[in-house]
Amino acid sequence: MGFFFRDAYLADSELADVERRVAELSVEIRRHNALYYQQDQPEIGDAEYDALLRELAALEAAHPELLRPDSPTQRVGAPVLATGFKTAPHRTPMLSLDNAMDADELRAFDQRIRRMLGRDEELEYVGEPKLDGSGVELVYREGRFHQGLTRGDGRMGEDVSANLLEIPSIPRQIETSDSAPPELASIRGEVVLPLPAFHRLNAGRRERELEPFANPRNAAAGSLRQIHDIDLERLRSLEFRAYAMAEGRPESHTTQWEALETLRSWGFAVSPESQVCSGVEGASSFYALLMERRSDLDVEIDGAVLKVNLLDLQEDLGSVARSPRWAIAYKFPPEQATTRVEGIDVQVGRTGALTPVAKLEPVRVGGVTVSNATLHNQDEIDRKDIRVGDTVVIQRAGDVIPQIVRIVLADREQQLEGGSVFERYRLPEACPICEGTTIRLDGESVTRCPNLDCPAQLKNNLRHLAGRDALDVDGLGEKLVEQLVESGLVSRLSDLFTLQAEALEGLERMGAKSAANLVASLEKAKSTTLPRVLIALGIPHVGATMAEVLAQHFLDLEPLMSASASEIENIEGVGPTIAESVARFFEDRANRDELKRLVSLGVQWAPPEPSAPNPEGSLAGKSFVLTGTLSAPRGEIKQRIEAAGGKVLGSLSKKTDYLVAGEKPGGKLQKARDLEIEILGEEDLEALI
Ligand code: IVH
């Protein structure tokens, strides 16, 4: 009896712990799914992700009562985002693959399926490289390309047909020589970005000061889902490799190998490394061979896929929720190493964002010596609890700056016993470049230096100030900004308006005429409007729409500068983050001084014209919020909406009628969904107008 109670008690508390962990893991995995599949911006490596998923699967297997139908172990990927692509169902679900991490797990897989099939003799497998790209389904009707979908959540994908058709290795027409093409063929494969093209595209991006792609997989997935301003070079650099035929297989087929051969004969590229392997030993040798050849391949692969060759046996084995029982991905070990954090430095980016960087004891990983790893932001440091002196596991994947996977806690504990001190790290309160007070807005992960004249940001801020939507200074391009700052002629924004032609003539390749032109453009730019001034200041979150809203409300700069965050938040269309951002910007002493100086140097504006709504327009009475990159400057789109009687607000509330989402829509998209606000693409907006 006593035992019984004790056991029951133990089981209860244990179960509560397990339940908590299952919930925790589910939340965490869903977050990583969204980062990976929807934002193409993974925070962790595959190995770390797999470890989370496996831990969850193991807990669910031991406690089936905790398995929920919506568990991440039961689904593939993440639901597609309403980015503007139409969605469509896959004809048969696009499944994922179960993983084996080492030889034992491969052997266990082989034994498991042989037991299920009741076979003593060895199985024949097809070994293929596990391509690290983006899975897609191509549908052909009567041999003609009909539709192409991303994997999405496995059931529904995004229709990216138009983009797929730009990929040179995707045939528009299946080439059959001896028979008619099948009425319907569903071909599965991976869209990959070959490494030479990946390096070329990234070199171009660095040149244009764009964030390089983290790895070929993200670059491929992102390229495939381009919706506006489509970069054809990116699309045409992609390649499609076929690895399965879900429908349309010739009846005579009995093996996966035949399917690959047929795909090749139909005009598809099939991984040339694929092989028939006999038994688990053959599969192991194939894996070893691939690992050896990995660095010579022109596409990134992250393991081997082993598929039971006989289709009948595949059918007998069937599938579980996320993956078929007849195939397994035998993953390569991640490129990881262990080292020590010697210090944490802070870099200030061009936009004022402070990025902590771990200084590491140099270590070789994935063929290069690594001595720095980005720590992203304060949240990331807190989440992983990284402190100076810690031993850490780092990982390099693709072209990514190395990441710290985790700390080795046991090592810290041991050192603590020896009397070492490990202090929690906090990002500095003073900008390491200009010593201005740094800020972090509620709900944001970035810590920033808000100082307009911070040398780290000056060039960027000057370019922004000269931009089309801002003061529109003709002739003040990137090169010139560079020269002005490097020569010391401009060391704060307002210095621009002190420039004299004689001084400018001293710059390289600057003739008297260009110098006079620049001085004239600056003079012209001084007479401007209040919204343009607000845009020119580059206040985080204040773009064209918000600048207009603030200008309409305050009519002049003085009242805005002295308004508190809560006063600003009371304005219709202004949310709390923006309000705080504006208030904090003007609280900064250096920014106020800079504004005063701009005004004393002649920057001036007339009071804004009140905007009169057009009660007759097609959008009369409707309110809109804009997000993401749109095909025209925000100001222009706003004008179109207003001309049709609509109102454009800066932030979403329950009362907003529509969210217009461009490319890279950010957090507003989710918020709109949460508030059940209708989401429009630009074309939908045009249609409404
Ligand atoms: S077969 C039902 N073969 O890996 C079988 N998938 O982790 C599922 N992948 O969604 C696909 N190389 O996008 C297969 N040779 C290969 C593959 C491959 C890469 C991808 C595919 C899949 C994911 C599963």
- Under a CB-based contact definition with an 8 Å cutoff, are residues 133 and 216 in contact? yes
User: Could you give the CA distance from residue 241 to residue 239 in angstroms, rounded to a whole number?
Assistant: 7
pLDDT tens digits, 117-129: 999 999 999 999 9
Atom from ligand 1 closest to the CA of residue 132: 19
Parallel, antiparallel or unpaired: strands 678-680 and 658-661: parallel
Residue whose CB lies within 8 A of the most ligand 1 atoms, among 263, 305, 317, for a mutation test: 305
Confidence of residue 10 (pLDDT cuts 50, 70, 90): very low
As a whole number of Å, the end-to-end CA separation of the chain is 76
At 182, the amino acid letter reads P
Rg (CA), the chain: 29
Residue bearing the bigger pLDDT, 368 or 477 = 477
> Which DSSP helix (H) or strand (E) runs through 109?
helix 103-117
Residue 8, pLDDT score = 37
Give the rounded distance of the alpha carbon of 355 from its chain centre. Answer: 18
User: Could you give the CA distance from residue 332 to residue 101 in angstroms, rounded to a whole number?
Assistant: 7
Cβ of residue 190 lying under 6 Å from some atom of ligand 1? yes
Token pair listed for 497: 């308006």
- Under a CB-based contact definition with an 8 Å cutoff, are residues 446 and 353 in contact? yes
Strand boundaries in 604-670, DSSP class E: 604-606, 623-627, 647-649, 658-661
The CA 221 to ligand 1 mean position distance, Å, reads 15
CATH class of 623-688: alpha beta
Residue 159: half-sphere exposure toward Cβ, Cα within 13 Å: 11
User: Could you give the CA distance from residue 197 to residue 203 in angstroms, rounded to a whole number?
Assistant: 10
User: What are the CA-CA distances from residue 122 to residues 110, 512, 681 (Å)?
Assistant: 9, 84, 54
Residue with tokens 């100001």: 635
Give the rounded distance of the alpha carbon of 464 from its chain centre. Answer: 24
Parallel, antiparallel or unpaired: strands 336-348 and 353-365: antiparallel
In eight-state DSSP terms, residue 496 is: G
The four Cα atoms 598, 600, 605, 608 give a dihedral, to 10 degrees, of: 90
Mean pLDDT confidence for 131-156: 95
Residues 6+ apart with CB under 8 A from 399: 198, 199, 202, 212, 213, 214, 215, 216
Could you list the active site residues?
130
Domain 87-331: give its CATH superfamily.
Answer: DNA ligase/mRNA capping enzyme (3.30.470.30)
Token pair listed for 329: 């991905």
In eight-state DSSP terms, residue 37 is: I
Residue 4, pLDDT score = 33
User: Could you give the CA distance from residue 671 to residue 653 in angstroms, rounded to a whole number?
Assistant: 9
Cβ of residue 324 lying under 6 Å from some atom of ligand 1? yes
The CA 336 to ligand 1 mean position distance, Å, reads 24
Q: Is the pLDDT of residue 6 over 60?
A: no
Query: SS3 letters for 258-309?
Result: HHHHHHHHCCCECCCCCEEEEHHHHHHHHHHHHHHHHHHCCCCEEEEEEEEC
Give the rounded distance of the alpha carbon of 209 from its chain centre. Answer: 17
Atom from ligand 1 closest to the CA of residue 135: 13
Q: Whose CA is nearest to atom 21 of ligand 1?
A: 135
Residue 400, pLDDT score = 57
Token pair listed for 357: 């960087």
Residue 127: half-sphere exposure toward Cβ, Cα within 13 Å: 24
- Under a CB-based contact definition with an 8 Å cutoff, are residues 118 and 162 in contact? no
Please, where are the H alpha helices in 120-246? 161-164, 195-207, 216-224, 232-236
Q: Whose CA is nearest to atom 12 of ligand 1?
A: 130
Residue bearing the bigger pLDDT, 262 or 68 = 262
Atom from ligand 1 closest to the CA of residue 99: 7
- Under a CB-based contact definition with an 8 Å cutoff, are residues 480 and 411 in contact? no
Atom from ligand 1 closest to the CA of residue 329: 7
Residues of the chain with CATH 1.10.287.610: 21-74
User: Could you give the CA distance from residue 109 to residue 103 in angstroms, rounded to a whole number?
Assistant: 10
Q: Is the pLDDT of residue 499 over 80?
A: yes
Confidence of residue 78 (pLDDT cuts 50, 70, 90): low
Domain 336-417: give its CATH superfamily.
Answer: Nucleic acid-binding proteins (2.40.50.140)
Mean pLDDT confidence for 516-534: 96
Give the rounded distance of the alpha carbon of 302 from its chain centre. Answer: 20
Residue 322: half-sphere exposure toward Cβ, Cα within 13 Å: 19
Q: Whose CA is nearest to atom 2 of ligand 1?
A: 95
Phi-psi region of 369 (alpha: psi -120 to 50; beta: other; left: phi over 0): beta
168: helix, coil or strand?
Answer: coil
Residues of the chain with CATH 2.40.50.140: 336-417
Token pair listed for 100: 């084996």
At 299, the amino acid letter reads V
Residue 2, pLDDT score = 31
- Under a CB-based contact definition with an 8 Å cutoff, are residues 556 and 485 in contact? no
Residues of the chain with CATH 1.10.150.20: 466-525, 530-606
Residue 544, pLDDT score = 85
pLDDT tens digits, 412-447: 999 999 999 999 999 999 999 999 999 998 878 899
Architecture label for domain 21-74: Orthogonal Bundle (1.10)
Q: Does domain 466-525 have CATH number 1.10.150.20?
A: yes
User: Could you give the CA distance from residue 256 to residue 124 in angstroms, rounded to a whole number?
Assistant: 10
pLDDT tens digits, 240-272: 999 999 999 999 999 999 999 999 999 999 999
- Which CATH topology does 530-606 take? DNA polymerase; domain 1 (1.10.150)
Cβ of residue 244 lying under 6 Å from some atom of ligand 1? yes
Residue 579, pLDDT score = 93
Lowest mean pLDDT segment, chosen from 121-135, 246-260, 270-284, 387-401: 387-401
